[in-house]
Every structure is written in structure tokens, then in C-alpha cells.
Amino acid sequence: MSNTATLALVGDRSPHVVSHTRVPLLLEALATRDRLVLDAYWISSQDAEAAGAVRGFDAVWVLPGSPYRSEAGVLAAVRTAREEGIPFLGTCGGFQHALLEYARNVCGLTGVTHAENDPDAEDPLIEPLACSLVGHEAAVTIAPDSLAASVIGAARTVERYFCAYGPSRHLDTLRAHGLRFSGHDDDGGVRMAELPGHPFFLASLFQPELAGDGTHPHPVVRALARAAVEHAAAPSAPPV
């Protein structure tokens, strides 16, 4: 593949967020090692509030860095990618907000919240983890016959986290409305989610961008890049 694909990096870019500083290294490695060339643009959470902010991109990656300046902007970016079939990856805070968007806009759970954004809310979908995963590595068991399994290529993997919040309530409702939880920790906690029927929609509580030193992109990052290049190469739909 030699097509150049456009990638929207959604988040409030900061030199103090390690995953943000890894992005240039990953993009260079994807181009040189895998011949997957991505033309990446940062879109702040506030700018993502604008209608169609990520429309027209070949992929959307919602990066860590929560609490975001604009929860609404991040949710809008997730929704556009989900509804318009744009390849999507959400990591850490991106995972949390992908679940939040799905719960509100697909499952009708309009009152659910993220406890980091609204600590006094009565119905948080995303709550503080019983044991913080900030700076930890932990095993993830991957569901067979899932997108996650095809991407990672193993039934079990050890991944890096920098996260203190995760999903707790309403998980059965999300499953009943089509979201698949395809990665779990050893205690059964949800660590990955995907959307069957979407060209590429994957989210992880762990941060694949932190794997290694950035010169060998994690399989999840490579898979997003491949999906983006395939999206760029696909023929455009004729005008209506």
C-alpha cells in the first residue's frame, strides 16, 4: 500500500502526556517499517465540537489526556466515526468516551456520566477503578473470533496502562445494543471494546502507543494505520 491517509488525532495535545509525545515516533515507524503513510492532524477537544470536525478523515484516534477540555467535542468525534464508518481507535480516555458515546446515543442511557468529569453524578458509566492502573502493566485475555484477536494475534497479552477510571455499570445494556467487549483482565474487568459491522472500531483501556520505545508500533496501532490506508484507497461514493 502506498496511499497516504489522513488521520485525525483528537485530544488536547500536551508535551506532558507521554502518549502524545509518542505519536511522531509511531508515524515515522509506520511509514518507514510498514509503508503506511499517515498525514496526521491534531484536533483539540474544543475544535472537535464543530459539526463535521473529523468528517472526511480516513481514521480517527481519540488519544489519552482526560479530563478533556470539551467532553462534548470528544463525544462528537466518536459519534461521527461510528456513524460514518470511519476507522476509529480510542485509547485510555478515548476508550472511556467511546463507551460513553455509545451508551448515550445508541442505548438511550442519556443520563450516564464519566465520574472524572462529574464526580457527584448519580449514574456514572465510567468510575474510579478499584485499583488504579496508573503506570502498571497487566494481562489482557482476548476473546476468540474478535477484531481484537485478529489484530493482536494472541489469546493473551500484557499491556501498559496509565489510567484510573474504567467502565462498571450498564455493560449488559451496551452488549445488548451491539457493542462487543473483546478484552478482559484477570478479574473479568472490561479492557477492550469493538463494534461488529463497522469497518474498524476498536477501543482499549490500555495504551498501545506506549509499547516499547515507539520504533515498533503495537499491532493495534498498525491495524488502525492499515484501516486508514484502505479507507483512503476505497472509491468514493457517488454524489446523491
Question: Cα(74)–Cα(126) distance, rounded to whole angstroms?
Answer: 15
pLDDT tens-digit readout, 134-163: 777 889 999 999 999 999 999 999 998 888
Tell me the residue type at 157.
Answer: T
Percent of the chain scored above 70 by pLDDT?
94
Q: Which three cell numbers stand for residue 122?
A: 448519580
Cis bond upstream, residue 67 (ω within 30): yes
- pLDDT confidence of residue 238: 45
CA distance to 18, 42, 109, 215, per residue, from 24 (Å): 11, 12, 37, 10
Model confidence, pTM: 0.94
Long-range pairs, 19-28, Cβ under 8 A, ≥24: 19/63, 19/64, 19/65, 19/91, 19/92, 19/162, 19/207, 19/209, 19/210, 20/63, 20/64, 20/65, 22/209, 22/210, 22/214, 23/63, 23/209, 25/213, 25/214, 25/215, 26/209, 26/214, 26/217, 26/221
Give percent helix, percent strand, percent coil of the chain, each to the nearest 5: 30, 25, 45
- pLDDT confidence of residue 130: 66
- pLDDT confidence of residue 27: 97
SS3 35: coil
| Banded model confidence at residue 132, pLDDT cuts 50, 70, 90 | low
SS3 173: helix
Query: Looking at residues 97-112, what average pLDDT do you find?
Result: 96
Contact call for residues 101 and 113 (beta carbons, < 8 A): no
- pLDDT confidence of residue 176: 98
- Over the chain, what is the mean pLDDT? 92
Contact call for residues 36 and 30 (beta carbons, < 8 A): yes
Q: Which three cell numbers stand for residue 135?
A: 503506570
Query: Looking at residues 185-204, what average pLDDT do you find?
Result: 96
Question: Cα(70)–Cα(12) distance, rounded to whole angstroms?
Answer: 9
Between 122 and 79, whose confidence is greater?
79
Question: Cα(206)–Cα(160) distance, rounded to whole angstroms?
Answer: 6
Query: Looking at residues 194-214, what average pLDDT do you find?
Result: 95
Domains of the chain: 4-233 (3.40.50.880)
- pLDDT confidence of residue 145: 96
